[in-house]
Structure 1
């Protein structure tokens, strides 16, 4: 049952919660927080709490600085690392204009509106992310290599307690906040871990991912470790992906499932996948938003580099996992391009928008790739009609800038801000002189 704001006020009183943190995020996906006292809760729910939006990345223009935060009572939870006595609660917030209208720049608003358009067609959008991150012994410092907390690999049982105790504590905190975890294990890289969240509607999942990142970083600090969701923190090790399973339901029925069809996939599912593929280059700047993201994609450690789909093919951008014929809810598609540093609201909105475009326009799904795509030659890939993903942020921006679909999904203000912000990032990166350049060139010329 959805929690009403009166229930939140009562819970705060009963649990002696002394502070309530109002959480929201900027366009890049960085978590922002404002603390209020219980005495201000009623005002927060009915009127909103004023903030200076001009100081937040992409939230508003300087001449429209006044914004309001209105907390969503359904998201209230206490923060377990703050203790049970005189504790701290948190709620996710919607960002509003002074008139009380949804702010066009609020990433949560972007996702809610795209989901609303799907709901108008009777479709509910569910997501299930597999979130990877690294744990290091100490913060990064220039000139000093990163030191992962272990040297273990995929699914390894690490005998010293660090990683296991870490995951146990994180999962305990998440579940106390009503965020359900499905699996957790050590990943391929040294010090790399994965924790998978259970299926939820996409808005809840995006809220949960912001909370997840915070919990992981808080637990790491408490254990004298440092957590990083950077897409590619070490050049010779796997990057941090966030493979995400997507499905659409209508009146409790999985519309991706069709009994007897190849792989159990309905025509709707095939059109949805076709939309993901056709617009992949256009939304890449949202699923892979940093210069560093493309070092993961093209880093030759199992990240998808080419725009194709396949049945149980882990080299494909979109994978159709094995489904259980007797369990119709198991039919889904897995998008493998996302990295752990994406803004989940914008990334999930783009994936839904692209998939819905495929359904609405009745896109035809090309042949699936059964071979390991990385091992094919360029000529073989061209013959199969398999195009590469953008090789860097600049090329991703070129495709994004020309995309009418992305401008429609995001709205003008978010679309324009991303263009400015990411062009600035690319310019800063391009102007740097790196250590590799000095090592390979300085003494030669």
Structure 2
């Protein structure tokens, strides 16, 4: 940031601070997501927002090599007690938090002390990949499905039994009735925050829900998933409940995913429709999806980042455990959704193999990088799998463990080049640290360790 940009940010922040103070808002939570997928925060008084916007708030870069249990590893570029960064809030995303009276929120970009962009900033990586696509005329609309499990009395969650707040069948009205006030308050809080909710429904596992929001540009989509999760967490707390976004809350049942939906656009046209490629997609869309599909084994190390992620990523659970695509095929890792005949704008693709322990900024950026590489090489999709890939006997499984996914990630020259050395090596170190942390632990122990971390 130069002096002109700092002055503009300070002026803008002073106006925001006055507006927030008039609304009796006295604190602003400034968040970023680390490489372990944990949302970290520094909070400032509302009166200090102009200084934060101009000069940032200090934070150690060592958090880029923190693990899910708050222990730390090191990497060739990042690690140890030395150094400091500046957290600079994105004032365009400043939001009053409906479920946390007196608070506002903004995501941050991270800069070096001299104002230059921090090479390992995940949010700026997502922005950089989005800009790369825009240079070719491509825009994206992306959105995450947010799944979580609601439990009661979090201080009593010990041992294999988890006291779910609402039982009842998958997609059953019973669960909505049992938590009617809770779900209503979620609707209200998200609406007040201008989050366009498409739907909320009870999911497969006991106490599990899912919310889908309207698509947005990639950086905004990642911002939204952070805002939605923290809103769910706050509403849950106000109802005496606990919300867990961990890949698995208990070992065995269906886990919490974070499916990524995306569509490609050029000149106002949805490239997922009205083309001569497979099932009506354009050739550009086909090549993008083919690039993402080809890179999925390495992308798993980004989007399924914990050993526990692979307790969720199993066949016959609609988790997307197979490296294939299919039309409306919920067992395929890549599901193509043509949309209703009279609604061509609804056509999109869904990547099902990711979960909410992933850093969403890293994920959208890495998927774009893989897809653009597919376009550059004019890749084509293989034949779609029409049924359950588990029944074919020939459809390849995605890696079934974090170490297996890491082998693909470590060999990915594409992701190394696009992420840059500092971010790539930090990710690699964190994933290896998580694998070592899980060594010797049973599935039950893995689930218990993460239940209240995400």
Q: 8 Å contact 1:27–1:106 — kept in the other structure? A: no
Counterpart-to-counterpart distance in 2, 1:28 and 1:410: 16
Q: Label 1:164 to 1:202 Cα distance change in 2 as closer, same or farther (>3 A).
A: farther
How many angstroms does 1:50 deviate by?
Answer: 2.4
2:431 alignment partner, one of 422, 426, 444: 422
Confirm whether residue 239 of structure 1 aligns to residue 247 of structure 2: no
Aligned counterpart for 2:90 among listed residues 65, 72, 84: 72
Matched, 1:94 2:132: no
1:114-193 counterparts in 2 under 5 A?
114-139=129-154, 141-158=157-174, 161-193=177-209
CA separation of 1:340 and 1:26: change in aligned 2, threshold 3 A: closer
- Give the equivalent residue in structure 2 for 1:406: 415
The match for 1:354 among 357, 370, 387 is 370
Deviation of 1:434 (Å): 7.3
Q: Quick one: distance in 2 between partners of 1:434 and 1:157?
A: 31
Higher mean Cα deviation, 335-344 or 56-65? 56-65
RMSD: 2.3
Question: Normalising to structure 2: TM-score of the pair?
Answer: 0.88
Q: Is the 8 A contact 1:137 1:226 kept in 2?
A: yes
2:5 alignment partner in structure 1: none
For residues 265 and 374 of structure 2, what CA distance do their matches in structure 1 show? Answer: 16
Cα separation, 1, equivalents of 2:21 and 2:391? 61
Matches within 5 A, 1:318-357: 318-357=334-373
CA distance in 2 between partners of 1:304 and 1:398 (Å):
20
8 Å contact 1:18–1:38 — kept in the other structure?
yes
**Which of 400, 406, 425 does residue 391 from structure 1 map onto?**
400
Deviation at 1:182, TM superposition (A): 0.3
Match of 1:268 among 260, 265, 284: 284
Q: Distance in 1 between matches of 2:228 and 2:176?
A: 24
CA displacement 1:47-82 (0-9 Å, x = unmatched): 222233335646944365211111111111112123
Within a 5 Å distance, the mapping from 1:245-324 to structure 2 comes to 245-258=261-274, 262-298=278-314, 300-324=316-340
- Counterpart of 2:61 (choices 39, 43, 53) is 53
- Pair 1:62 & 2:70 matched: no
- Which residue matches 2:51? 43
Secondary structure of the residue aligned to 2:105 is strand
3-state secondary structure, aligned to 1:178: coil
Could you tell me whether the CA contact under 8 Å between 2:14 and 2:49 is conserved in 1?
no
Name the structure 2 match of 1:105: 120
Alpha-carbon contact 2:175-2:202 (below 8 Å) kept: no
Report the TM-score, using the length of structure 1 for normalisation.
Answer: 0.89
Aligned-residue offset at 1:387? 1.7
Partner SS for 1:387: coil
Match of residue 24 from structure 1: 32
Q: Point out the more displaced range, 149-158 or 352-361.
A: 149-158
User: Bigger shift: 32-41 or 119-128?
Assistant: 32-41
**Could you tell me whether the CA contact under 8 Å between 2:308 and 2:443 is conserved in 1?**
no
Residues 275 and 283, structure 2, Cα contact 8 Å, conserved in 1: no
Partners in 1 of 2:348 and 2:291 — Cα distance? 15
Separation in 2 of the partners of 1:363 and 1:393? 27
Taking a change above 3 Å as real, the CA distance of residues 96 and 223 of structure 1, as seen in their structure-2 partners, is same
CA deviations 1:241-276 (Å, max 9, x no partner) are: 122211111232222322565422111111111111
Shift of 1:25: 2.1
Following the alignment from structure 1 to structure 2, what is the Cα–Cα distance between the partners of residues 289 and 400?
11
**d(CA) in 2 for partners of 1:68, 1:130:** 31
Worse-superposed segment, 242-251 or 255-264: 255-264
Higher relative contact order (CA 8 A, sep 6+): 2
Distance 1:151 1:37 in 2: 41
Contact 1:48 1:69 in 2 (8 A): yes
- Where structure 2 has 5 or more consecutive residues not aligned to the other structure, the ranges are 1-10, 67-76, 446-454
The structural deviation recorded for 1:138 is: 2.8
In 1, Cα distance between equivalents of 2:328 and 2:61: 45
Which position in structure 2 is the counterpart of 1:442?
none
Whole-Å Cα distance in 2 between the matches of residues 159 and 191 of structure 1? 8
Which consecutive residues of structure 1, in runs of 5 or more, have no partner in the other structure?
Answer: 437-445
Following superposition, the deviation at residue 302 of structure 1 comes to 2.3
1:277-332 CA deviation, whole Å, 9 max, x = no partner? 11111111111001011111126422121100111111111111132344332221
Deviation, 1:207, is: 0.8
CA separation in 1, counterparts of 2:19 and 2:283? 47
Between the two proteins, the alignment pairs up a number of residues equal to 425
